[in-house]
Amino acid sequence: MEPIALTEPVFLVLLSLAEQPRHGYSILKDVERMSDGRVKLSTGTLYGALRRLLDQDWIERVEEDEAPRDRRPYRLTSRGRRNLQAEIERMRRLTKVAALRIARKEV
């Protein structure tokens, strides 16, 4: 398994692409919506993350003939999806432990 514990912007970008392929602006708005407006990515941060994800083969461009050059959609690769699932599992276990600890403290 690959190292997990993703940075928050990268995690949210992957989560946004998990549902469907999206282009840059759509990812930006979806990340903002998912985080209740708490995470607002700049275009510099977004495309820095997309470039690294493309380099590591976690996402890929969807080749569409009719898509304009400035609105190219991206989608998760199977490797990216696997890593996202691993990260979600890690977080699930962590929140479970946290909930148990809090419950013990309250008793």
Partner 1 sequence: MLGFYKGLLYLYPAAYRREYAAEMISVFRDAHADISGATYCDRLSFRMRETFGLLTGAAQEHLRVLCGDSSLTPLTRFNIRPEFRFPRSTVILMLVVLSGVLLTVEKARVVQSKYGPVYVSMWPSLAWFLGFVLLVTFAAAACLWGILFALGQTGTQRLANLEPGTNLKD
Q: Which residues bind partner 1 (CB under 8 A)?
A: 3-7, 10, 23-25, 28, 40-53, 55-56, 58, 69-72, 93-94, 96-97
Q: Compute φ and ψ for 59, nearest 5 degrees.
A: -135, 170
Closest by CA position to 77, among listed 3, 26, 21: 21
CB 67 within 8 A of CB 73: yes
Closest by CA position to 74, among listed 89, 54, 103, 94: 54
Taking the complex as a whole, the smallest distance from the CB of residue 97 to partner 1 amounts, in Å, to 6
Taking the complex as a whole, the smallest distance from the CB of residue 24 to partner 1 amounts, in Å, to 4
Q: Is 22 helix (H, G, I), strand (E, B) or coil?
A: strand
Q: Which is nearer to partner 1, 37 or 65 (CB)?
A: 37
Q: Which is nearer to partner 1, 56 or 85 (CB)?
A: 56
Taking the complex as a whole, the smallest distance from the CB of residue 85 to partner 1 amounts, in Å, to 15
